A and B are shown apart, each in its own frame.
Chain A
């Protein structure tokens, strides 16, 4: 059964427990950062930051809206990254059948920088990051080691009130319930691309207010689209 994380951003307090716990579980090194005038740090996902709370602030009609978005891989049901990677190195990105978790494997080392860039480009949410030292492509693995051991992902475990984890069907039901409640206050609230993803976000405000890649511009490719689009890299190469 496919697993799913549901993130209700209207309940996120941006405590960043998830961001830190993720690093701790994966034994990631700390990355050097500077204060640049925002609480969002590091500024973006890195090979050592699979989870990042994005902050965006707006003042509308005199009222402040501070939006938090705990960003991570969405674990697409039809992951474009995998399709792209498969063209170059079979098995570089795989989907775990039992859980639906999308994994970057050690084989991503065999990908060139250009191929990795292409994979990142193909991700509708701009998630994977290449580790320039090890040449690996990296991203959230939904703590598959924990999930296989019957535990919940570290970010969900740490979260105060915004995240839940479980079977996808159950999570979608929970998400719908939350949506119904949130809509009473925020009529524009929606679930982001819920039908296609293993990580479902509930947002209260128009998605573009969160950050550039909160929404996707195109649907993730299904198999048929993918085959039809096989020539895309060549077209791109031709400019």
Chain B
């Protein structure tokens, strides 16, 4: 989230799209309803009518996978009717930037596409620069090569007729949403966008979010109260685990994973530290070397010295251009069979990964597997899954019992980036332990073995400043970071061992440590763990904003609303005087913590507000994404259409697809699989359901796998409510109970009726009689930038079951 939960109440319009907020983030609705009470219009755009829709002012059903068409139409509407927040767009976004002539867009493809590698040469999408290396701009927005004009041209094709025909949304409904949301382009109005996996889990997932952000930039809705692009993060601490580099492509604090193309630290720093020649651009990532060196110092302690590149050479390096995401990891496990073993903690890929048949087969190629789990899961028990003879599985599986969250100290970071401590309640039951304890203990024993037996490359293991015994407080302090020697910065001396008060004091010379720079400041001195704060004190201005600066701590710097400098005009005057996020008073900012202390932009020393962008401006044109600088509608890889009305390019030209005998894909418009399947979570179960199916009250409320479908489809197929049906894709079949409902309606798409059905994915065979993995149906299709699977749109067929084997009846 750029905002925080409470701030939703300030919105004049709430667009919930790609999210079922009321069901998956129930508390969010406390604030959505407050916004509604205050007069906001709440709109839910989603394939099915859900509990979120029930509480919204209106619901607009949309064919899954057509969000870009829907929003592209909104961009066209906003630009044609000139509903942008002009000053914001001209001053704070890159609308006025001139784009180099090498950028082109023709019939669905951007310039620089190589069909062999399915990759673009992104260098062609550059900003034109002046002799000082500063991007050229035309603040009148008239230059035909400025971003504003290119944007206008790009979305000119997204007219109501085409958008309506592709999305299955009536023109009347399109206009209704566009009208409500575009009205927030007025300087004193704000609209918020709440999204979740309904946007991300597509082959165009990143571009879905980009386009949402672009609309918010056009309407001046980022940085202001009640605005923002708000990712609703999941209960398993998705925000915190992402910050701490759960995914393979980053190391903590959103730093790129080292590759063999950067053999030295200097190479790494050079490749990852952007340079701006514009004195008004803060270019915050210019500080990256400080964060990287502090991280290395945090990892390797005294062993890390300037002479040995702070042990950068000891870090494992990935091969550039190789995708190590889970989808390709399991592909390698399945096809190359060269992965011997692994550890899986709190993750149930035999349920939650697409094409789970393949995952379940891949796991059987391992020699050993270590699982840290609260309960037995389909992954932990893959060797005894239905249809598998345990005697024929060679894998040795160790299931380490993990304690529950309430049985340990630790933190979670919520969607609003609040870093919140949770205190241990009861002792862990039985022999269960926290996962932190497991990791520390396993590594201590591995280290002992390396000490004793040496082996290949022991220094990679033994050089770490490894913690002796797991202690959440100590880890929190290490995340914050300490000074490694006495240092004087701006007339203030910090002693060796003192905590670093905030990340502006982190250094690139080895004098500071921090295991995650964005969290530096959360533990500014011993005994002062700000994540534990529960103080409601606030100034009257903060009270009006619903801002509690003394309650827990938010990264970065306890800032509650990101990019808040964009909430004021160039002279520092709030766009919405009734609800200022920050105010320039007596030579300083008050209210929220501003994005840096610099004075308003028009004053001497003033800075651009989008400090994380090299050029300092909100990116309407975004050359950093591998699949294009402007979002473009492509059909899902499995699509009921054979033609994309927007271009000759049917599906994403960059979507990633592993190829194996188990990775079958239905052809576009395949008559054998004419129905669109979308999958989702539900309130009562978490993710793959490992925890919640073992929570009897929750299983009582949602006991078995179901498939939601329209009355029209049910009638066509002779299915009655409550019948057991078989849902079948080219990859597998699944039994589910038919839930025939008015909440799903057929779509009229390109002159034909397209049916859509929806299924949760939380029910698995280790809980008897509840059904088994829905993801046996979904394809291994990955988004080009982050390889997130396309769970939300694939092709299936459905029929009444003639016998029932997976469900208790």
Contact = CB atoms under 8 A, between A and B. Distances in A.
A11 B51 CA distance: 11
A58 B741 CA distance: 9
Given A16-B684, A20-B697, A37 B740 contact: yes
B722 interface: yes
Contact of B51 (A14, A32, A161): A14
Interface in A59-97: 59, 64-68
A15 B23 contact: yes
Contact of B53 (A20, A39, A66): A66
Contacts of B29: 13, 160-161
Given A15-B23, A160-B29, A35 B742 contact: no
B706 A37 contact: yes
A231 interface: no
Interface centre among A29, A31, A34 (most CB of B within 10 A): A34
Nearest to A181: B37
A19 B29 CA distance: 18
Contacts of B30: 160-161
Given A13-B54, A16-B684, A35-B737, A57 B700 contact: no
B624 interface: no
Given A13-B29, A17-B26, A35 B697 contact: no
A14 B54 CA distance: 10
Contacts of A181: 37
Interface in B12-38: 22-23, 26-27, 29-30, 33, 37
A134 interface: no
B699 interface: yes
A21 to B, nearest CB: 9
A235 B664 CA distance: 71
A161 B9 CA distance: 13
Nearest to A66: B54
Please name the 3 residue pairs, one residue from A and one from B, whose CB atoms are nearest each other, closest first.
Answer: A30-B696, A35-B704, A37-B722
Interface of B: 22-23, 26-27, 29-30, 33, 37, 49, 51-55, 59, 683-684, 696-706, 721-723, 737-743, 807-809
Contacts of B809: 34
Contacts of A35: 702-706, 737, 739, 807
Interface of A: 11, 13-17, 19-20, 23-24, 29-39, 41-42, 57-59, 64-68, 160-161, 181
A36 B723 CA distance: 8
Chain B binding surface SS class:
mixed
A178 B44 CA distance: 23
Given A15-B26, A160-B29, A34 B703 contact: yes
Nearest to A29: B696
Given A11-B33, A64-B53, A37 B700 contact: no
A15 B26 CA distance: 7
Contacts of B740: 37
A42 B700 CA distance: 7
Contacts of B49: 64, 66
Contacts of A41: 700-703
Nearest to A59: B742
Given A36-B737, A37-B722, A57-B743, A161 B33 contact: yes
Given A34-B703, A64-B743, A68-B51, 8 more contacts: A15-B22, A16-B701, A30-B697, A31-B700, A35-B704, A36-B722, A39-B702, A39-B739
A15 B28 CA distance: 12
Contacts of A66: 49, 51, 53-54, 743
A23 B54 contact: no
A186 B193 CA distance: 27
B683 A15 contact: yes
A19 B698 CA distance: 10
A56 to B, nearest CB: 11
Contact of A38 (B55, B700, B739, B742): B739
A186 B701 CA distance: 30
A64 B741 CA distance: 10
A159 to B, nearest CB: 9
Nearest to A28: B697
Contact of A23 (B51, B683, B697, B742): B697
Contacts of B723: 37
Contacts of B705: 35
Contacts of B721: 36-38
7 contacts: A16-B701, A36-B737, A41-B703, A66-B49, A66-B743, A160-B26, A160-B30
B527 to A, nearest CB: 33
Contacts of A161: 29-30, 33
A20 B698 contact: yes
Contact of B697 (A13, A24, A37, A57): A24
B59 A37 contact: no
A13 B638 CA distance: 33
Contacts of A29: 696
B481 to A, nearest CB: 38
A13 B23 contact: yes
B697 A11 contact: no
Nearest to B738: A37
A13 B742 contact: no
A161 B27 CA distance: 9
A206 B185 CA distance: 39
A225 B737 CA distance: 48
Interface centre among A29, A33, A35, A36 (most CB of B within 10 A): A35
A160 to B, nearest CB: 5
B808 A34 contact: yes
B794 to A, nearest CB: 22
Contacts of A23: 697
A30 B683 CA distance: 18
A34 B705 CA distance: 10
Nearest to B723: A37
A35 B702 CA distance: 7
A68 B50 CA distance: 12
Contacts of B55: 11, 13
Given A15-B51, A57-B741, A161-B29, A64 B23 contact: no
A66 B683 CA distance: 16
A24 B698 CA distance: 11
B14 to A, nearest CB: 14
A58 to B, nearest CB: 7
A20 B701 CA distance: 8
Interface centre among A13, A14, A29 (most CB of B within 10 A): A13
Nearest to B706: A35
Contacts of A42: 700
Contacts of A38: 721, 739
